[in-house]
Amino acid sequence: MESYTHLARLYDGFMDNVDYMAWAEYVSRLIRRALGFDELAPLPRPVRLLECGCGTGNMTLPLARLGYEVTASDISDEMLAVASEKARRAGLRVPFVRMDMRELSLHRPPDAVIACCDCVNYLLSEEEAGRFFRSAHSLLKPGGVLAFDISSSYKLEALLGNNAFTDSNEGGAYFWQNCFDEKSRLIEMKLEFFIKTAAASGGEALYKREAETHIQRAHSEKELKRLLEGAGFSRTEAFDCFTLEPPHEKSERIQFIAVR
């Protein structure tokens, strides 16, 4: 699993087109359904939620505003620092903890565990995904819910694999080159960042070059459902993300829900 060391400073600027409130409302709707609550009414009781791979808190803050008692975790200290500062500025009291999603631990069992925006893709084998599922199952209350999404095999292989991308904004720029290996089902993503720093004496901006490599795995729906069942989950469902429809061959993101 990779640590978003340099990307943490640029992440929000390049993800400002994502409607995280709508995404949080979608995940909330699925959690409420699975817990037997009204999907649209206020929560009937406090609901404790552990978020894995919280990143810069883009899902954390909307979920807290929706009334969940969120504990947010990530393996990247840099991401946690950004998320914690955003929550402080927003006046939200959210505990942020450094935690490996393969080894979850809390003082009290949560009602739900979530992992949004490709977290499970960073688990690079069936064994690693199974460790996460078993850890979540052990941690959850009976009847608790695991909710996570993945970038689909179609997206990683056909859309991202062996392609290159670039983008820039006022804070900097990135160059992103991908290589997908069909045998291992792994995609290697090499990113180069040019991060804007203080202006030089002549007034021109200076940029610092940094680089990171990220690796994700193209998990299949069938594989993950088998691993969830092997971990002890029941009522396992998969959706074409942001809908309640089943995934199709060109679904780019697949949402999973499983009940302990």
Per-residue pLDDT at 2: 46
Per-residue pLDDT at 247: 97
Residues in contact with 6: Cβ distance below 8 Å, sequence separation at least 6, in sequence order: 78, 193, 195, 210, 211, 212
Q: Give domain limits for the chain.
A: 7-152+219-259, 155-217
7-152+219-259: CATH architecture? 3-Layer(aba) Sandwich (3.40)
- Could you read off the pLDDT tens digit of each residue along the chain, which spans 260 residues? 445 555 555 555 555 678 999 999 999 999 999 999 998 888 999 999 999 999 999 999 999 999 999 999 999 999 999 999 999 999 999 999 999 999 999 999 999 999 999 999 999 999 999 999 999 999 999 999 999 999 999 999 999 998 888 877 776 787 889 999 999 999 999 988 777 776 655 567 777 788 889 999 999 999 999 999 999 998 999 999 999 999 999 999 999 999 99
pTM of the model: 0.88
Termini Cα distance of the chain: 25
Per-residue pLDDT at 135: 98
CA 245, 248, 250, 254 torsion-angle sign: positive
Per-residue pLDDT at 191: 87
Do the beta carbons of residue 195 and residue 171 sit within 8 Å? yes
| Residues shown for the chain | 260
| CATH topology for the 155-217 domain | N-terminal domain of TfIIb (2.20.25)
